[in-house]
Amino acid sequence: MTIANDRLRLAVPKGRILEELLPLLARAGIEPEAAFSDKGERKLEFQTNVPNLSILRVRSFDIATFVAFGAAQLGVAGRDVLMEFDFPEVSAPLDLRIGACRMVVAESKEFREKDNPKRWSHVRVATKYPEITRRHFAARGVQAECLKLNGAMEIAPSLGLCRRIVDLVSTGSTLKANGLVEVEEIAQITSKMVVNRAAMKTRPDEIHGWIDRFQGALDAA
């Protein structure tokens, strides 16, 4: 399913990743309207200096959905989101080399000292990523019971909800502050440029033109 509209829309995430993305947008020749920089601004779509391109500022977890269903033809999404939803309608032609972190399995330091991952057969895991988690453990013959949380994963083991979590880490300081240690790494995560596959077929010159501009912006970094 795609939504017909002559305007191209680029969906970008709110928060930390956006701060890393802004210099790349500038090198690609994209200048959002002044309201885009206003943290108190509540609207979600912004005009740019490119007449036929607007920017959607949305939750990072929603970007793949916006692009898959054609509400945006272009986007910037983390590999974690792409792995979780695995939309066939979405292509990820470029690694933007921003938002670097890791997806890991973690558990309490005390439990880790007596735990043997090779003996796992069933695990209960708190995570924002139930699909990735199930696939990861299924690949090694382990049944994963996932407790879906959208935040505060690190406190779940100490409250008795589970013994393990799957979450993103960059420095590991939040894990350490909550008495957790990494057990294993699931994936290296960075942000990707994503495009709607249907738009690549119906508007190839525009879409490939933007892919080339982002590649040029990466090369100029």
| Of 121, 135, 126, 111, the residue nearest 183 (C-alpha) | 111
Averaged pLDDT in 10-residue chunks for the chain of 221 residues = 69 94 97 92 96 96 97 98 97 98 96 89 97 97 96 94 96 94 97 98 97 97 79
Residue 133: predicted pLDDT: 98
- CATH architecture for segment(s) 101-189: 3-Layer(aba) Sandwich (3.40)
Whether residue 158 contacts residue 108, with contact meaning beta carbons closer than 8 Å, is answered with: yes
Whether residue 6 contacts residue 202, with contact meaning beta carbons closer than 8 Å, is answered with: no
Residue 40: predicted pLDDT: 86
Query: Do 8-99+190-219 and 101-189 show the same overall fold?
Result: yes
8-99+190-219: what fold? D-Maltodextrin-Binding Protein; domain 2 (3.40.190)
Report how far residue 23's alpha carbon sits from residue 41's, in angstroms, rounded to the nearest whole number. Answer: 21
| Ranges of each domain in the chain | 8-99+190-219, 101-189
Whether residue 112 contacts residue 99, with contact meaning beta carbons closer than 8 Å, is answered with: no
The alpha carbons of the chain give a radius of gyration, in whole angstroms, of 19
For the chain, the straight-line distance linking the first and the last C-alpha, in angstroms and rounded, comes to 36
